[in-house]
Amino acid sequence: MLARTQSYLLQGIDALACEVEVDFNENALPHESKSIVVGLADTAVKESLERVKSALTNSGYVVPNGRVLVNLAPANLKKEGSTYDLPIAIGLLAVQGVLSVDGGSLFGGKRTYVPPGQEPRAEQEPLDLRQFAIAGELALDGRVRPVRGVIAMAALAKQRGMQGVIVPADNANEASAVGGLDVYGVRTLAEVVGLVTGNLPIEPMPAIDIASVLSSAKPTVDFGDVRGQEGVKRAIVIAAAGGHNLLMLGPPGSGKTMMAKALPGVLPSLSPEEAVEITRIYSAAGQLPSGLGLITQRPVRSPHHSASLPALVGGGMIPKPGEMSLAHKGVLFLDELPEFDRDVLESLRQPLEEHSVLVARAHSSLRFPADVMLVAAMNPTPKGDLAPGEVGKRAMERYLEKLSGPLLDRIDMHVEAPAVPWKELSAGMRGGSDTPKGATTAQMRDMVMGARAKARVRQGDAPNARLSGKQLDVFATMDAKAQALLGQAMTELGLSARAYDKIRRVSRSIADLEDSQTLQLHHVAEAIQYRLLDRKV
């Protein structure tokens, strides 16, 4: 007997259709009785038959004696993980006649199968499994465990015009984010059988109202909690207004990490499409928290400086997204920038320009989204401080030599984050109405949103950091004094052509914050000040 169920396989963050064929031969000869899985399956998939058999036995079902052959089609694409446990188990039950995969009457209509411990419910129609995609890992006792990439599977099922999906209960929320599908979350194998046969009433998971969920998301760190550093906050407002990359240079304890984590709060809220795309990335990487259906805030990823190249940009035998992709539409924060391996840092150069990562392997190439705002932080020297005079300058120069010029060129703004004086640190302890208040996330966000609204009217959805040279010639015109100052800076500082465009882009963001159509002298002067390391080196 032969049964077919529908599942999926992951390629990058996208799902492809995978048909699970289960063939059972009870008259197999002794030398043919070995049960096998074919279809370019990895070790975890090949082990699935043993998990499935144990789950069937411990759930009160019969494991057939004979030869079981499972084929995962298409056979030329690599399959990995425990995704196929549940569709294989349903196929094994179907070939025994326990349930039907086409929604027809069971056992030719002679009797209705009742799962162990359940009462028959004749009024509910059985499901036509040809219209459902199925995924889930089985525990040995029949529990259904979560798997990766369920939201991509749901999107594929919707694209193929299927009725719905049957997934682990812990994955049901993310599948329901797609909408337009019947999403059934199940916790045990017995629940699946009851659902398919119509003997167990399980209501589909309601679709998530993505817009309302996103509107209720609140930032976790407020800039009002950061003491001092008003100059850095100003730089962050400019960076957020134009989507610019930012490097903070300062001693330990000056608030660099805290400000990087607070930065998403001043960026525009995620759109529903962005939230679903980020959720797909986290689901494919296996990093979506259990039971969470949607990523609601722009992510902040802060990999340790010992991170390898595949961990940062993605890779592996079957490529998976790295930290750059996990920070998509959010912030990639690299603390202690010079401590990262030089090859790892150099690998960032192309993704920062193209906003995606191409991982090439002998069998295929996959492209992962990596539209990030890079925020880096570093101490002036390995000791963390800067000694006075020529000694401190040489120590800083040696430390900066770990960073290549082309990488620094791709960072739009370099800003100094000095140590916070005791007077500002103790302001919160003194309290009172006269205590100075720094800029808060709400105030900074209002400024950013106003500047972005002006940019959107002028140039569409592209932020200032993405403007090409030709677009800058049109949208970032300068008055005569500003042009003269920029020309002088290019000559005296030895800036590159890329730095020239970076200054114009940052100047455009500063002008947008002041509602100025033309770039004026003070706009360009401030932008030049943010080429700090060009002056230091």
Following DSSP, what letter does each residue of 305-347 receive, concatenated? TT--HHHHH-BTTTTB--HHHHTTTSEEEESSGGGS-HHHHHT
**Class (C level, CATH) for 467-537:** mainly alpha
Handedness of CA 440, 444, 449, 450 (dihedral sign): positive
User: How many C-beta atoms surround the C-beta of residue 305 within 10 A?
Assistant: 14
0.75 surpassed by pTM: yes
Q: What is the mean pLDDT of each run of 10 residues along the chain (537 residues)?
A: 93 94 80 80 91 95 88 92 95 90 48 48 72 97 96 96 96 93 96 90 88 83 86 96 94 89 92 94 91 88 94 86 95 94 92 91 83 93 72 78 86 90 67 62 95 95 93 94 94 87 96 95 95 66
Domains 2-197 and 223-449 share a fold: no
Residue 527: φ, ψ to 5°: -65, -40
Q: What letter does residue 41 receive in the DSSP assignment? A: B
Q: So where are the chain's domains?
A: 2-197, 223-449, 467-537
Token output for 191: 């629940």
Kindly report, residue by residue over 38-92, the tens digit of the pLDDT: 999 998 899 999 999 999 999 999 888 888 999 999 999 989 999 999 999 999 9
Residues 6+ apart with CB under 8 A from 74: 18, 39
Exposure string for 459-477, b = 16+ CB within 10 A, e = fewer: beeebbbebeeebbeebbe
**pLDDT for 515:** 94
CATH superfamily placement of domain 223-449? P-loop containing nucleotide triphosphate hydrolases (3.40.50.300)
Helix (H, G, I), strand (E, B) or coil at 409: helix
* Angle at 169 (CA atoms; ends 126, 19), nearest 5 degrees: 60
**pLDDT for 427:** 66
Q: Any idea which residue has 């812990």 for tokens? A: 170
Q: Write down the CATH number for the domain with range 2-197.
A: 3.30.230.10
Exposure string for 12-24, b = 16+ CB within 10 A, e = fewer: bbebebbebbbeb
Kindly report, residue by residue over 525-534, the tens digit of the pLDDT: 999 999 878 7
